[in-house]
Structure 1
Amino acid sequence: MASRAVRVAEPMVINEEMVRSCASSADYLPTSTERKEELKTQTELHKLEALACSFKNILQIQSLDGLDGLVKLQLDNNIIEKIENLNHLTNLTWLDLSFNNITKIEGLEKLVRLTDLSLFNNSISKLEGLDSLSSLNMLSVGKNNVSSLEDVMYLRKFRMLKMLTLSGNPIENDADYRNFVIANLSYFDWKSGGHLSYLDYRLVETSEVAAAREQFQDQLLELNDQEKSEAEAREKEAERVRKCEMLKSYGIEGIDNLLADMINSNPEDEKVSLLLARDRPDVHEEIKIEFRNSIEPFIETKAPLVKRKADETERFRKVVEQKKSESVQQSIVLVNLFKKRLKRVAAKLDDEETPSMIVGKEVEELRNSNRTLGNELSELQLRQKDMEDNMINEFEARYGEIIRIISDSNSGFFTTLREILSNFIKKVMEMAMEEIERVNTLVENAKARDKAQFDIDFGDISDDSASFLREKEMVLSSISASQDYFFERLDSKEDQIQTAERSAFATLMHQLRLTCQEEDRRRTTEIVQAQEEFEEKIQQLEHTHAD
């Protein structure tokens, strides 16, 4: 049983004074006196890399905001009861919370860079709360209250874990404790090092791993099969998510499941299922194959078109930025020339012997130059605006051509799907007529033999299907309604995709023109402000040298 840290004095609160007094070095070498003094007095808090707040009688983890640069934090030998307020310290690689009163592992979700974690000598009874710490290399949870060997299974996910301390927990009393831990924390590559290196401060030899795995081989085989299935399921789900994201970026989200969605949501599906109740792979699979053979190449055409859009946009932005930069440089040259003239005139007027008539003339010429500067800057701005408008129009034409190609591709694709569906419905209709005729023939033959209706043998046609097929008008109506529904869904999907593409294009162009207008207004404001500032300086000169 772990011993709890006991409060022997008033709890201390973490504050800036304590932080500075505890500033340390991030390496494992002793910190010199000079370095400690530098860390305490000169280093900005956000640049601190390590804190050693041991033996401070700290009850609550708090007031660590702004210490995002920490990579090493020691809070051992305190009276902390809860792990909290640490998730912003995302650079931490080393955390020591040993010798406290912690009862639950929590509050570490964002510390994904953590490699070394010590929770030694606390009151923890369950291994949990570490799921995001995939880089964990050393974990110490010795001298706690972990009582079930099954808790060890939680650690299997940490494939980089090499040093583990569990001694001092109730589980250590189990006769199979060490072998169980070693066996279950070894993996398929255990012979080449895929296992713990140290358990409870003792080296784990490869021979020890082999013996432990042999002892628990049946359990490990079952566990490996289970983990393999889970890994495959995760990989499959990840691939599904990746494909969904890809289709979404292409503007054709859900296109890969279009047929299944249409069939499953068809209001007439139950009735049509009665018609197709027999095993007819030629009917069921043919449309799936034809849809797949149309969808897969359609998806492949999207990648280069999406890239063309991105490349065209990037090229446009680069050219615009280049032209803006050139215009800015020209404006800077004009402004600097005026500033130099203003400076020369000011120096000239500082001469006490300068006649007042000359002062007035120089001031007037400065005002004329300021007006000329404003006109030249405005002319530059106007040329820049016209150039940007032309570039936007040219971009709109080039980008619009890509949108047209995409639209034509979409239209052709959905036309193909409609043809596939039309052929499918036609085959279903032909099959239905054959089945209707067959059922009616069996019924007529039974009547001729005075055989009761419920004694008729319909062969491989179920009684429910036979009953449905005897209602010819209902069958034909159901097939026709299904066709209408399928075409309606195709039309809706095509309209959704085409509208989204056009809408995104319109939004892009609106944003580009809006940005251009805002830039134009900003430049106009800057020109007016510059002229006003220069006029103020001219007035100051005029007042300074007035009679």
Structure 2
Amino acid sequence: MSRLYDTVEPSVVDEEMLQKAVEEQGPKDEAGRLAKAEGIDFAEVTQLRLDFKNILKIDNMWCFTCLTKLQLDNNIIERIEGLDVLVNLTWLDLSFNNIEVIEGLDKLTKLTDLTLYNNRIARIENMDSLVDLHVLSIGNNDLKDLENLTYLRRFKNCKTLNLNGNPFCELEDYKVFVLAYLPHIDYLDYRLVDEASKHSAYEKYQISIEEMLHDERAAQRKLDEQLAKEKEFETHKKAYVEKLNGPYMFDSMYQDDIEGNKLSAMPGVDELLVVYRESFSKICQQIFEFGLIEHEKRVGEIDEFWKAINEAKTENKNMGMVKVNDFIDYKKKLFLDLLQLGEQGQSIAEQRFAEYNDKVAILQDALMGYEMQLVDQLEETVKDFERNMADMVSGFLENVQALISQCRDLENMHHERMMEIAIITLEKVLKNELDDDIPDELRELCVDKDTIVNAVQTSHDLHLLKIDNREDDIVTRINQFMSNMIRDVHDNEEVKRNRQRVSEINNLIDHLRDEIDNLDLQGLNY
């Protein structure tokens, strides 16, 4: 599928090319002159054509964050790259290029229309994230194997598919295979597919399709289970108790414990370890269950806080709207009355003008009062929330640290028992009272008292370090959570909202006063 190109030097998408393209495709005449003078913000561009530019490499697209439509057809592009930042892209044309591999599309999750027509692609792949894909044109490529099309079964929203011009289109069963394995397609190679053809195709491949469906369902169940486990684990992490629902923490203490694993071969240690592991794991389970309960409480408190904040804002806004609407009704009636005054209406008009301005002032005071009331209400709500969350976090840490302290106590008791067993074992080895089948690793520790005592102490220190590290990790993470949450609460643009609201009130009052000042009382004859 070779193509002839102009003997122009291959180019890379650079800022100069982008600036020129945006200016050419932007507003025309006076609007275009103003836009050029003010400077065009690439971040505001939603559509861009870069066709017939002899582009070899896609680059410098990072500013076009709002781009939804991009044409890169009729270039000499060899790789799909440099598009990760275009997360809002819905339409992409890469037809008539030299692309051999589908890649670089993972971040384009909003893509609905993709054109790869007339390239050198031999395999359909690397498109898993394009779940909203509706139109795919990949004709005139190098697709030879019909089985390759089964990859497209995952795109249930894809209704229009163009494959025309690929080598497998010459196969006798091409169309039947496509309709059988891709029943969601409504348009194939620019032609509407009828239901009768789909049904006939399905019957021909029914056995193999049902086998594939069985495999797909099994794979989906496995994926669902994996996703459920990952979601559950994420919840455990947010509760700071991941891997505490079982013997994970206990096992981790021995994972890198070289000396402890050697000492486990001492007579009586295996039974001791069974009891220790069970007791230690029970405490970890208590931490785990308590952590999940406390996590739910924190989530509930946070949800209630934001609900209260939003309800307060909505209620306050509604009260202001009632005041404003009442004033608007009053203003309409007043203006109508003023316009109907006769020749003797000057003194009455002046009285009504004064009355109007008084009511405007009253409205301003009411709206400002509501805003001040809201600010005070929000501040009090935030303070209550911070106190509640601080109490929750403090209570959580107090209980967790008490339980972890029990883990330490168990380790200390285990250490004392291990030390007793080690001394007894050493004496028996020195007296040749133990069988010769004890491991060489253990026999090396039983050369003298200092050696075996140091081994027991090293194992104990490692275990305590693991326990301490897990406690520090929980404390650090939940304190960081508290710090971030409070920061987010105070960075929720409340100050900006307040300033904007005050500005809106002042603008409204100014507008209402201007209206009475500029009122054209054509019905009055002074």
Task: Give the TM-score normalised by the residue count of structure 2.
Answer: 0.61
1:298 corresponding residue in structure 2: 290
Counterpart among 475, 478, 484 of residue 458 in structure 2: 478
Cα distance change on mapping 1:407 and 1:209 into 2, 3 Å: same
Task: Name the CA distance, whole Å, in 2 between partners of 1:14 and 1:511.
Answer: 39
Counterpart among 410, 416, 423 of residue 436 in structure 1: 423
How many residue pairs align between the two structures? Answer: 460
What do the CA deviations read for 1:122-178 (whole angstroms, capped 9, x no partner)? 43345445343457799776664457x6x9569547446898969864x899xxx99
Instruction: Determine if contact 1:112/1:135 at 8 Å carries over to the other structure.
Output: yes
Cα distance change on mapping 1:207 and 1:445 into 2, 3 Å: same
Task: Name the CA distance, whole Å, in 2 between partners of 1:374 and 1:197.
Answer: 65
| SS of 2:121 mapped into structure 1 | coil
Task: Name the CA distance, whole Å, in 2 between partners of 1:445 and 1:364.
Answer: 119
CA positional deviation for 1:294: 1.9
2:260 corresponding residue in structure 1: 272
Cα distance change on mapping 1:510 and 1:282 into 2, 3 Å: same
Task: Name the CA distance, whole Å, in 2 between partners of 1:144 and 1:444.
Answer: 82
Task: Name the CA distance, whole Å, in 2 between partners of 1:363 and 1:283.
Answer: 95
Cα distance change on mapping 1:468 and 1:137 into 2, 3 Å: farther
Cα distance change on mapping 1:530 and 1:346 into 2, 3 Å: farther
1:457 corresponding residue in structure 2: 436
- Could you list the runs of 5+ residues in structure 1 that have no partner in the other structure? 8-12, 19-45, 187-192, 447-454
| SS of 2:422 mapped into structure 1 | helix
Instruction: Determine if contact 2:138/2:163 at 8 Å carries over to the other structure.
Output: yes
Q: Which has the larger radius of gyration?
A: 1
| SS of 1:462 mapped into structure 2 | helix
Cα distance change on mapping 1:464 and 1:3 into 2, 3 Å: same
**Which residues of 2 match residues 65-464 of structure 1 at below 5 A?**
68=68, 79=74, 81-82=76-77, 91=90, 100=96, 102-106=98-102, 122-133=119-130, 144-145=141-142, 156=151, 158-159=153-154, 169=167, 232=222, 238-239=227-228, 241-250=230-239, 252=240, 254=242, 256=244, 269-276=257-264, 280=270, 282=274, 285-286=277-278, 289-302=281-294, 304-305=296-297, 306-334=299-327, 336-338=329-331, 340-341=333-334, 344-345=337-338, 348=341, 358=347, 362-363=349-350, 366-367=353-354, 369-371=356-358, 373-382=360-369, 385-386=372-373, 389-390=376-377, 392-393=379-380, 396-397=383-384, 400-401=387-388, 404-405=391-392, 407-445=394-432, 457=436, 459-460=438-439, 462-464=442-444
CA positional deviation for 1:415: 1.5
Instruction: Determine if contact 1:458/1:466 at 8 Å carries over to the other structure.
Output: no
Cα distance change on mapping 1:307 and 1:535 into 2, 3 Å: closer
CA positional deviation for 1:442: 1.5
What do the CA deviations read for 1:165-212 (whole angstroms, capped 9, x no partner)? 69864x899xxx999x99xx99xxxxxx76889999997565667699
Instruction: Determine if contact 1:4/1:123 at 8 Å carries over to the other structure.
Output: no
Cα distance change on mapping 1:333 and 1:115 into 2, 3 Å: closer
Residue range with higher mean Cα deviation, 375-384 or 414-423 = 375-384
Task: Name the CA distance, whole Å, in 1 between partners of 2:142 and 2:489.
Answer: 64
Letter in 1 for 2:326: V
CA positional deviation for 1:282: 0.9
| SS of 2:120 mapped into structure 1 | coil
Cα distance change on mapping 1:471 and 1:257 into 2, 3 Å: farther
What do the CA deviations read for 1:64-108 (whole angstroms, capped 9, x no partner)? 9999599xx9x9xx955449799778556xx9988x454435465
Q: Percent identity?
A: 15
Cα distance change on mapping 1:478 and 1:387 into 2, 3 Å: same
Letter in 2 for 1:274: K
What do the CA deviations read for 1:218-271 (whole angstroms, capped 9, x no partner)? xx9xxx79x989995x66763454234323544x27564998579758999444
Task: Name the CA distance, whole Å, in 1 between partners of 2:55 and 2:509.
Answer: 59
Cα distance change on mapping 1:5 and 1:116 into 2, 3 Å: farther
Task: Name the CA distance, whole Å, in 1 between partners of 2:361 and 2:252.
Answer: 69
What do the CA deviations read for 1:333-391 (whole angstroms, capped 9, x no partner)? 2365356546644664xx66666xx3xx8547634652453245324532553365246
Cα distance change on mapping 1:313 and 1:472 into 2, 3 Å: same
Letter in 1 for 2:264: L
What do the CA deviations read for 1:24-80 (whole angstroms, capped 9, x no partner)? xxxxxxxxxxxxxxxxxxxxxx999xxxx9xx9997899x9999599xx9x9xx955
Residue range with higher mean Cα deviation, 259-268 or 301-310 = 259-268
Task: Name the CA distance, whole Å, in 1 between partners of 2:132 and 2:313.
Answer: 44
CA positional deviation for 1:489: 2.7
What do the CA deviations read for 1:502-540 (whole angstroms, capped 9, x no partner)? 43564466457x72x655554544454445445555666
Task: Name the CA distance, whole Å, in 2 between partners of 1:434 and 1:88.
Answer: 64
CA positional deviation for 1:542: 12
Task: Name the CA distance, whole Å, in 1 between partners of 2:307 and 2:120.
Answer: 57
Task: Name the CA distance, whole Å, in 1 between partners of 2:255 and 2:201.
Answer: 64
Task: Name the CA distance, whole Å, in 2 between partners of 1:501 and 1:65.
Answer: 30
Instruction: Determine if contact 1:60/1:80 at 8 Å carries over to the other structure.
Output: yes
Cα distance change on mapping 1:338 and 1:196 into 2, 3 Å: closer
Letter in 1 for 2:416: M
| SS of 1:132 mapped into structure 2 | coil
Instruction: Determine if contact 2:280/2:407 at 8 Å carries over to the other structure.
Output: no
Task: Name the CA distance, whole Å, in 2 between partners of 1:530 and 1:212.
Answer: 67
CA RMSD of superposed structures (Å): 6.2
CA positional deviation for 1:412: 2.0
